[in-house]
């Protein structure tokens, strides 16, 4: 079909009109960015070009904290009604933090901000969005990253927070809440010598009765029923709670046999074994040989199902550098249902979980 010339012309005019309209609208929108929200009379009063108009600028003008040298920065700082908005601007702009960095500071806890206030400018660009960032460890993060640049900054933060950059057993912290179900006991966090759980209860094990905390016993019984009905084998505890002096004897025997360095890779020093919490259990299938390890088949079930009962595989393969121990496919640890599920689904260790989900920085 052939269009009449005047129709063609009319159509072209309409098209051109639409294009000009769109361009014009965008141009107007660009130059009036945010201006509808802000008070233009303030800009005029201070002789400020409209391109700087922002809610933050309006805020500083109204609150009499305007400083011309930060004009560019105000335009980049997203206004928010945080109670400490004014404090952050007044404290951190003069330290040299720029607009986008100021935006990041609003995500930090008051604890971290208070620490930052005491310090000169720190270049935080690599740590934006890392929720477990701890100002105290800033220099250690950078030093650790220098040596381990294969890790992401998020991993660097977690690994340093759990002290992987420090030699083991140098100055272990004493665990303050040993009864907590998420208690972390390792080569950096040890239990008081005289700690013993008050709710120990016995479970039938491979070599006699095995004491453990009541909550672990109840969960273990459910796990045992499930493994029998779902996978048709039996798991019995060989050992669970061990007191300080028993661990001491064990460890010293290993040291006498293999030396300190080797013993430390598979046995905990007294006070630093999570068996003392009464929440760790070593399991065995009594139908198999005397080998301490579970068969791959048995382990496969345990690895993929123990979380359903609140347990985790505490020393998994490929995580030795975090846990500080060789893989132990027979050692499970009760942590509760929620933590166990998160740890399983995200392939974490207890160290990582506690740092990412429990600790507050």
Q: Show which residues are catalytic.
A: 328
| Structure tokens given for 308 | 């359903």
Chain residues 318-337 in contact with Zn ion, contact rule CB under 5 A: 331
Number of residues that bind Zn ion (CB under 5 A): 2
- Give me the least distance between CB of 241 and Zn ion, in Å please: 11
- Whether 229 and 218 have beta carbons less than 8 Å apart is answered as no
Q: How far apart are CA 10 and CA 342, in angstroms?
A: 65
Q: Among 194, 195, 212, which residue's Cα sits nearest to residue 203?
A: 212
**CB neighbours of 68 closer than 8 A, spacing ≥ 6?**
none
Going by their DSSP bridges, the two strands 208-213 and 200-205 should be labelled as antiparallel
Nearer of residues 140 and 331 to Zn ion, judged by Cβ: 331
Q: How far apart are CA 320 and CA 231, in angstroms?
A: 28
Chain residues 240-279 in contact with Zn ion, contact rule CB under 5 A: none
Contact window for Zn ion (CB under 5 A) among 59-67, 282-290, 304-312, 349-357: 282-290
| Structure tokens given for 119 | 């310090």
Site string for Zn ion, 23-62 (x = CB under 5 A): ----------------------------------------
Nearer of residues 134 and 267 to Zn ion, judged by Cβ: 267
Q: How far apart are CA 38 and CA 43, in angstroms?
A: 9
Nearer of residues 133 and 195 to Zn ion, judged by Cβ: 195
- Give me the least distance between CB of 239 and Zn ion, in Å please: 7
Nearer of residues 70 and 325 to Zn ion, judged by Cβ: 325
Q: How far apart are CA 340 and CA 265, in angstroms?
A: 24
Q: Among 154, 155, 161, 156, which residue's Cα sits nearest to residue 137?
A: 161
- Whether 279 and 272 have beta carbons less than 8 Å apart is answered as no
- Give me the least distance between CB of 125 and Zn ion, in Å please: 42
- Give me the least distance between CB of 203 and Zn ion, in Å please: 15
Q: How far apart are CA 196 and CA 276, in angstroms?
A: 7
**Residue 282, interface with Zn ion (CB under 5 A)?**
yes
- Give me the least distance between CB of 275 and Zn ion, in Å please: 6
Nearer of residues 108 and 185 to Zn ion, judged by Cβ: 185
Residue nearest to Zn ion (CB): 331
Contact window for Zn ion (CB under 5 A) among 243-251, 280-288, 293-301, 302-310: 280-288
Site residues (vs Zn ion, CB under 5 A): 282, 331
């Amino acid at each position: 079909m052939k269009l009449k010339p005047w129709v063609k012309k009319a159509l072209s005019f309409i098209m051109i009109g639409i294009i000009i309209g769109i361009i014009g609208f965008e141009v107007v929108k660009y130059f009036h960015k945010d201006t509808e929200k802000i008070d233009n009379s303030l800009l005029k009063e201070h002789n400020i070009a409209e391109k700087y108009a922002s809610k933050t600028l309006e805020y500083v003008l109204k609150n009499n904290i305007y400083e011309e040298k930060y004009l560019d920065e105000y335009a980049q700082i997203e206004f928010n009604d945080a109670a400490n908005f004014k404090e952050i601007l007044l404290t951190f702009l003069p330290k040299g933090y720029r607009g986008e960095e100021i935006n990041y500071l609003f995500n930090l806890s008051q604890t971290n901000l208070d620490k930052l206030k005491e310090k000169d400018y720190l270049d935080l660009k690599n740590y934006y969005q890392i929720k477990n960032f701890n100002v105290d460890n800033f220099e250690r993060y950078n030093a650790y990253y220098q040596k381990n640049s294969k890790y992401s900054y998020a991993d660097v933060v977690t690994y340093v927070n759990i002290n992987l950059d420090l030699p083991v057993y140098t100055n272990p912290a004493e665990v303050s809440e040993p009864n907590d179900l998420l208690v972390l006991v390792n080569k950096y966090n040890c239990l008081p010598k005289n700690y013993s759980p008050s709710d120990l209860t016995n479970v039938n094990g491979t070599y006699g009765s095995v004491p453990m905390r009541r909550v672990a016993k109840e969960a273990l019984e459910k796990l045992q029923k499930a493994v029998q009905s779902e996978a048709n084998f039996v798991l019995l505890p060989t050992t669970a709670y061990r007191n300080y002096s028993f661990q001491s004897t064990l460890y010293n025997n290993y040291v006498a046999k293999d030396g300190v360095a080797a013993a430390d890779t598979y046995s905990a020093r007294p006070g630093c074994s999570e068996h003392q919490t009464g929440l760790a259990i070593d399991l065995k299938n009594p139908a198999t040989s005397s080998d301490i390890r579970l068969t791959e088949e048995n382990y496969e079930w345990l690895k993929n199902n123990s979380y359903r009962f609140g347990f985790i595989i505490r020393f998994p393969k490929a995580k030795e550098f975090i846990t500080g121990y060789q893989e132990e496919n027979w050692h499970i640890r009760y942590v509760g249902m929620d933590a166990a599920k998160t740890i399983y689904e995200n392939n974490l260790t207890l160290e990582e979980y506690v740092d990412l989900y429990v600790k507050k920085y």
